[in-house]
Amino acid sequence: MMINGLVSLRVADKLRYFKQDFNSNLEKCANSTFCYILVNRWIGLRLDIICIFFTVGTTAIAFA
């Protein structure tokens, strides 16, 4: 299977240009995905801490 236009890119010597463009776009996407995962874990940790305090407080009130 041959990708259409690949021969034209090799003939015009533009393969390096498009490879560099592809890598920069891929890096931007990876950075945004990393930030999304980081924020998601940060919010999850904070919600877990709030649930722990709520459970401990409810248990303390129930046994008091």
Q: What is the pTM of this model?
A: 0.55
User: Which tokens go with 18?
Assistant: 């498009």
Nearest C-alpha neighbor of 22 from the set 1, 2, 3: 3
3-state secondary structure the chain: CCCCCHHHHHHCCCHHHHHHHHHHHHHHHHHHHHHHHHHHHHHHHHHHHHHHHHHHHHHHHHHC
Structural domain spans, the chain: 6-63
Query: For residue range 6-58, what is the model confidence (pLDDT) as tens digits?
Result: 777 677 777 788 788 888 888 888 888 888 999 999 999 999 999 999 999 99
The span from the CA of 41 to the CA of 32, in Å, is 14
